[in-house]
Amino acid sequence: MGKHKTPDAMADSIQTIECIKGTTSLMKLQNRLMNPGRLAGIRHLTAGTAHNIKNSLSNIKAVAQFCLDRYEIDEPLRKSLKVIVKNSKKANRTVNVLLNLARPHETALAPGTVNRVVHRAYNLVKPIFLKQGVRLSKRLHRKLPMVLLDEDLLEEAFLNFILNAIDAMPRRGRLSITAYHDPKSAEVVVSFVDSGCGIPNDNLKKIFTPFFTTKKDGTGLGLTLAKHIIELHSGTLQVESKPGYGTEVTVSLPIHIGKRTGR
Ligand SMILES: Nc1ncnc2c1ncn2[C@@H]1O[C@H](COP(=O)(O)OP(=O)(O)OP(=O)(O)O)[C@@H](O)[C@H]1O
Ligand SMILES: [Mg+2]
């Protein structure tokens, strides 16, 4: 390359420098936006706003339900009131998930076993399994190393994987939950494999996008929250799917060195 730059090349360098300058100020702006104090403020505000919205929603739902229970009303009005009740319940669920997202500082990580969390989540959904004819196989290796976990939060994530699997198998199916120790990566791995409808490739790219849902009553926040929870545990979350065959959700959590569990 010659010593002197052509005007075009100079223009390119200037653009590059401007771009770098732009990037620097963008980074500064990002740093400001991501500043812990500011984030804590936003979380606080989100939590406060979410509580207000929840209260209003409870009132709306209670009034609509009261009218439904108390008065003889025409069918069209009855239908409208039912829509109000249903949608306030749905909005309430969305707000609950947002509240959870706004509460990462309350994480109480302690050494524990993933098997216990799987049992806890499973017990909550057992009736749905039976009702929907979904068979469950649990292969939870004994004496898994402990991981640092917040049982309530992890249960919430596992519950969403299980409920997603159930939703994907409206007419029978099978869900296999496996937990094992991978000594190479020093992780405990929990996988949820269902034989459901699977996720088309185009959708697979969007499943962690907040509010992305293909369900009539879904909030589209379940996997967003679950991913956030797994990240709070310094773990990773992977979803693989084959449309028409099923989906595998894999959670890998770093082991808590030196501890073993008896179960
Ligand atoms: N096991 C699965 N099988 C098939 N599709 C899935 C599975 N898990 C997730 N999906 C797809 O990913 C989308 C997003 O899932 P996510 O859990 O975030 O929200 P949702 O299940 O739609 O709503 P919510 O969790 O509030 O009930 C789902 O709507 C569905 O299309
Ligand atoms: Mg879900």
Joined tokens for residue 249: 């959700």
| Residues flanking ion ligand 2, Cβ below 5 Å | 160, 164, 222
Q: Catalogue the long-range contacts made by 15-23 (C-beta closer than 8 Å, 24 or more residues apart).
A: none
Q: Cα separation of 81 and 83, whole Å?
A: 5
User: What atom in ligand 1 is closest to the CA of residue 239?
Assistant: 8
Convert the pLDDT of each residue in 94-138 to its tens digit: 888 777 776 655 678 899 999 999 999 998 888 888 888 899 999
Q: How remote is the CA of residue 214 from the centroid of ligand 2, in Å?
A: 10
Convert the pLDDT of each residue in 164-221 to its tens digit: 999 999 988 999 999 999 999 999 999 999 999 999 999 999 999 988 999 988 888 8
Q: Contact, 146 vs 113, CB < 8 A?
A: yes
Ligand 1 pocket, residue 243 CB under 6 Å: no
Ligand 1 pocket, residue 229 CB under 6 Å: no
**What global pTM score does this model have?**
0.72
Q: Among 207, 237, 250, which residue has the most ligand 1 atoms within 8 Å of its CB, making it the best to mutate?
A: 207
Q: Cα separation of 108 and 143, whole Å?
A: 23
DSSP for 105-159 reads GG---EEE-HHHHHHHHHHHHHHHHHHHTEEEEEEE-TTPEEEEE-HHHHHHHHH
The whole-number pLDDT of residue 221 equals 84
